[in-house]
Every structure is written in C-alpha cells, then in structure tokens.
Amino acid sequence: NEQKKKMVVASIGVIGGSGIYSMAGIRVIREIEVDTPFGKPSDKYILADVSGVLVVFLPRHGRGHLYNPSEVNYRANIFGMKLLGVKWLLAVSAVGSLREEIVPGQVVLVDQFIDRTSKRSSTFFEGGIVGHVPFSHPVCSTLHSLLKASCKELGTAFHERGTYVNMEGPAFSTVAESFLYRSWHADVIGMTAMTEAKLAREAEISYGLLAMATDYDCWRPDTHAVTVDAVVAVLHANASTAQSLIRHCVGLIAKYTDVEPAAWNCLRTAIMTSPERIPVETFRRLAPILKKYFPDQVAAADPNTVTFDL
C-alpha cells in the first residue's frame, strides 16, 4: 500500500488558487493523490521544488474552481497536509475590503477572525474524542512575522494586521451585512480561511494568511458592488505579487531555527476525553494527529500508521 510507506516529508504547504504554483523559480516534481478518513481533498497535491525547498501546493477549490466555499472539504485538505508532513501552512485568499485604507490590490496579513459560517465541519475532534485547542490568536505569530518580513523586503504595500469575517457564501454580502461587519471593526471579508485556521490548529500546523484585497465589498456608496469579474481581474493583476511573497517566505521558513511555534504543541493540554474512553477507531482515524500524545494507543489501533511517501 503506497500510503503506508515510510517517507521523506515536506514541511511547508501552500493553499491557494490553481495558479499559485505556476510561479517563476518553481519546478513541479509530481502530483500526489491522497485519501483521508474525511474523504477526498479538493485536488491532487502538487509537490514542487521552490528554489531548493520542497513545498506541497493544493488548489483550495480544485483546479477549474469546482467547489464553492461551503463544498470545500476543509478537513480532508488539512488532514492531507498533515499526512504529507506539513508543519507550516501558507494560505492565499481573495478578500473584500471593509476599510477605505485597504485598497484593492493591497495585501493584508490577517491575524484575527470572526466566524459567520454555518454549513461546514470545522473540527477533527468528534466521534468519541473531545478537544479544545487554544484559539485566541488564530494565526501563528511566527509565520505572521515571516510574512511581514517578506512584504517589507520586497517592498509590497501591505497592512500588518486585520480582522477577517468568514461568511458562508457563496453569495456576496448584502449592504446591511457589510455595514454590520464594519461596525464590528472587521477589516476584510472572505469565505474560506477561518475554517482552515481552526483545523490547522487542531492538526498542530502553523497557519499564516496572505489576504489579497480585490474589492470594497458593497458598503462604499460611490463604488459598484463586488462582482466575480472584478475579483478575477484584480487577482490576475496581482498574481505576481502573491507568488513573489510566497516564494520569498518559503525561503525564510526554510532558514528558520528559532523558538518552535506554539501551534506545534497545542494539543498537549487540549484533549478532554480520558484515553481509555476514546474508541479504537478514533485513534485509527486521527492517528497522524494523536500519535505524539498517545503513541501506544495509536500503535495498537493501527500499527502501520506512518506518513505519506513523497
């Protein structure tokens, strides 16, 4: 079984649009199909060499943009990254601006979220196990600092912090909603990132978000409401910016040797369920996440559990 082989892992992952791995200075090595206990991820993972560093890419909505924000299998996407050995996850996401000063085309390094979703699964801890991960600071501070350094070194116009409202979608906001979110002091609005951030935290993966402002949503009276055409046009115009930042940040991550991010050990005090009450099937299903804390139980549940061979 190919999925049971011992393997070399890639510690850096990138989730974004299909074009994010078509940047200069990247060499695609191969595509990897991964099965997870939560179903199929959005697409095959792309293993690539980015200036000498192994990186795993995944198009969030699938190539050709097949899945709407509610249909994306976030659990499978993040679990697949965990299986592949990813410890650092860079996400690129289009967002609407809720602030005059956040101009379409600029980058926002999101550090907080407000969750307005209602139709998606956003936890691995169910089916006989309960876990409560710390999430007051949902973005990895180390990864946030590295993204900030990349923006500065490349001279990119960016906003150091921002609160992201994660709406359900797929329809864009009403005017009333847009003004409500502004009254909450939110800065940008999107449909995907908070779900990824929650699951990445549960999987002990450092998560950082590069949000690309594409429009002013619909709150600005002298600006047309957001449309798909407008979003795509700004994304295409700024594709090279996102690619350059990802490439640069990958290089910084590869050189990072300082203090371990807190996200890497956040499950140490998060599991509430007594180990003897956790079903064997749950240990088997969550083996890549639980094996560090319950090695004997995971080994007994699935002695062949190892990461995926790249």
The residues that are catalytic are: 215, 217
Distances (CA, A) of 68 to 60, 172, 180, 228, 235: 10, 12, 24, 13, 18
The phi, psi pair for 114, rounded to 5°, reads: -125, 125
| Angle at CA of residue 4, ends 271 and 199, nearest 5° | 35
Q: How far is CA 184 from the centre of its chain?
A: 24
Q: CB–CB of 103/188 below 8 Å?
A: no
In the block, residue with structure tokens 């929650």: 198
In the block, residue with structure tokens 């609160």: 163
Question: Bridge partners of 31?
Answer: 46
The identity of residue 31, as a single letter, is: E
Distances (CA, A) of 38 to 101, 238, 285, 286, 300: 40, 34, 9, 10, 21
Distances (CA, A) of 217 to 18, 97, 226, 227: 23, 6, 5, 9
Omega within 30 of 0 (cis) for the link into 69: no
Q: CB–CB of 199/60 below 8 Å?
A: no
DSSP 3-state of 41 = coil
Q: Where are the beta strands (DSSP E) in the chain?
A: 12-16, 26-32, 45-50, 53-59, 88-97, 107-109, 112-115, 158-159, 163-166, 188-190, 206-215
